[in-house]
Amino acid sequence: MTTIRRLGAAVAIVLAMVAAGTGCTVIPVTGPYTVGDDGTGGDPLNKPFQRMIAMPPQPNWGPEDTIKGLQAAMAAYADDPSILPQYLTPEARAKWSATGPVKVIEDAFEITYPTPRDGTETVLQVTLKAQWVASIGTDDAYAPTAGAWDGGTFELVKTQQGGYLVNKLPAGLLLTNSDVVRAYRPANLYYMNADMPERLVVDRVRLRMKPTESFARTILERLLKEPTAALRDAVTTSFPEGTTIESIRWNEERVLVNLSGPLDPLDLSAEAALRAQIRHSFADNDVAKGRIIEIQVDGETYAVDRPDPADPWLDDGGDTAYFVDNGAVHFMGKEGPAGAVPGAAGEQRAGYTDFALSKEETALIAAKTSTGISLTKLAQDGRWQEVIQGTELTPPTFHRDGSLWTYDNKNGVLLRYDPASGRGPERVSAPKLAGLDVARLRIARDGVRVSVTTGENTVQIGALTSTPEGLVLGNFRSLTTTEVGDEIVDVTWSDDEHLLVLVESKAGQILNEINVGDGETVGVPLKDRLVSLAALDDRVLGEVKTDKETKIVELNPDRQTWVPKVESNAGSPLFPLG
């Protein structure tokens, strides 16, 4: 067995010489050097990276060197596809394809030989074993993957000139984690909610850097394509089919994007949405740097977009914090309690739990009871009214359109109640939830993504998609699963791309913030034992409950410590939506 570590960390320097057997070198790449155009090396519209230069197989290489060189050629394949075929026999070249998901493994991998070797073999079976890191789909979605990867079986044949060629190998590209860190960048793309096109929805991808173009162009080229499978049929775009990029140029104050295609300058709503998609896709990836963005069509000005602090495209539905005291809902001010809300919701009442808030402009609040879910207005004349009946309902959650949602475990159906219509709840198709024990369901503030906790230890992410038959909750994929015996205590959206997951483990509580786009997980330190959470962007509130007290604590901006917010008789922190 041979253990190989090829480029164990991201390369930080230029390798001026290539040692025999390494099969690669790395040079820094910042794009072409046309000042003010798509690839200016030092401009913030670019993301410098290091380009892999692979070597052809050498006559003096053994099996390990050949496998190392082949893997390096895979890492360089997108920039130079001519080297990798040189490692393959004619038979392998005819069968192998680079298409399909990219497999990402740890930098250290093992090469084993199934049978004892005496050095005279002309055909050699080699197995490559490594730890999975992730896969990158054909839609550029990055999916973390745990466990061992042992699907790497290679057949090597000795050549008459010496050295080896690969006769059989797994399909697709195999990259190490360092390859991905070096050549790929995470990027947020913005599309429009298909049912509420005034709201943008973020889509997280991994984009491969290209030495021939700026990162700004790489982002925009990808934005012209379909979203990842996670958001397929849930979002739409303002770019008409046939739109292409002619050029991207800039100076210190302005980015000039010249497009070509059937863009209608008289369609003001499409023009506003297109500006928003470009603005946020550039800003989130740190390539526009606060510049004015001028959009042209065939050289003629189409729109000019300036940074707007009051940007409506990512509206969260309100930022007021609330809490519950003995069944009565209270406002939370900067310094603590600020009084009860008006109407029935502000009155103490037993038996009402799991409160949820709509957008502030809609001013609705819902709560779960022993017989169903009740609803009231946050107004002086507000009165509680049971709108969904059931004894096995999940806690209510509001959609940004004002509708109220829950899952009925007894009947295995997803229910939606529209207060504007006043009619009884309607069923929404969610075939992937059939037969599952749904513990909680929460709709994100973007009105598209939905987190679903099943059983005690699994969180899935789905999306509300539009079909000719109506809304469907689908596009499910697993986000996290805890260890057996651990229990998920609470789950809440902090923003459109991050979910906070509170877990009770054997060793104590764990709070993780997980990016639902690529699974990136950051632990949040805890001091007190929490029983519930609420979050909005950088604000995170937690409910602490002991035998002596119930209080609200807030996570400091340093995200390391918690401070008391409401000292006593306070639980169930709330923000609108989420």
DSSP string, 435-462: T--EEEEEE-TTSSEEEEEETTTEEEEE
**Calpha distance 531→544 (Å, rounded):** 6
**Calpha distance 5→229 (Å, rounded):** 33
Q: What is the pLDDT of residue 23?
A: 54
Q: What is the pLDDT of residue 403?
A: 96
Are 49 and 57 in contact by the 8 Å Cβ rule? The answer is no
Are 349 and 376 in contact by the 8 Å Cβ rule? The answer is no
Residues of the chain predicted below pLDDT 50 = 1-22, 27-42
Closest to 348 measured CA to CA, from 364, 329, 375: 329
Q: Provide the pairing of β-strand 24-29 with 123-136.
A: unpaired
> Residue 26 contacts by C-beta under 8 Å, 6 or more apart in sequence?
7, 11, 14, 15, 50, 51, 52, 53, 182
**Calpha distance 329→344 (Å, rounded):** 9
Instruction: Please state, as a whole number, how many other Cβ atoms lie within 10 Å of the Cβ of residue 137.
Output: 16
Q: How far is CA 87 from CA 62, 77, 356, 550, 559, in A?
A: 13, 12, 60, 66, 50
**Helices within 317-449 (DSSP H only):** none
Exposure string of 207-236, with b = 16+ CB inside 10 Å and e = fewer, is: bebbeebbbbbbbbebbbeebbebbebbbb
> Residue 12 contacts by C-beta under 8 Å, 6 or more apart in sequence?
none
The residue written with tokens 């049978």 in the block is 115
Phi, psi of 45 (to 5 degrees): -70, -5
Report, at the CATH architecture level, how domain 186-313 is classified: 2-Layer Sandwich (3.30)
Q: What is the pLDDT of residue 24?
A: 55
Judging by beta carbons within 10 Å of its beta carbon (0-12, 13-18, 19+), is residue 361 exposed, middle or buried? Answer: exposed
Q: What is the pLDDT of residue 120?
A: 73
**Calpha distance 445→492 (Å, rounded):** 11
Closest to 142 measured CA to CA, from 95, 98, 104: 104
Pair of tokens at residue 526: 């805890």
The domain made up of 315-574 has a fold known as Neuraminidase (2.120.10)
Residue 424 DSSP code: P
- The residue type of 477 is R
Closest to 132 measured CA to CA, from 108, 166, 100: 108
Q: How far is CA 99 from CA 81, 133, 150, 181, in A?
A: 13, 19, 20, 20
Name the β-bridge partners of 216. none
Q: What is the pLDDT of residue 25?
A: 52
- The residue type of 96 is W
Q: What is the pLDDT of residue 44?
A: 53
- The reply to whether domains 186-313 and 315-574 share a CATH topology is no
pTM: 0.90
Residue 483 DSSP code: P
Pair of tokens at residue 145: 């993957």
Are 493 and 442 in contact by the 8 Å Cβ rule? The answer is yes
pLDDT in tens, 380-399: 999 999 999 999 999 999 99
**Calpha distance 516→537 (Å, rounded):** 15
Domain spans, the chain:
2-182, 186-313, 315-574
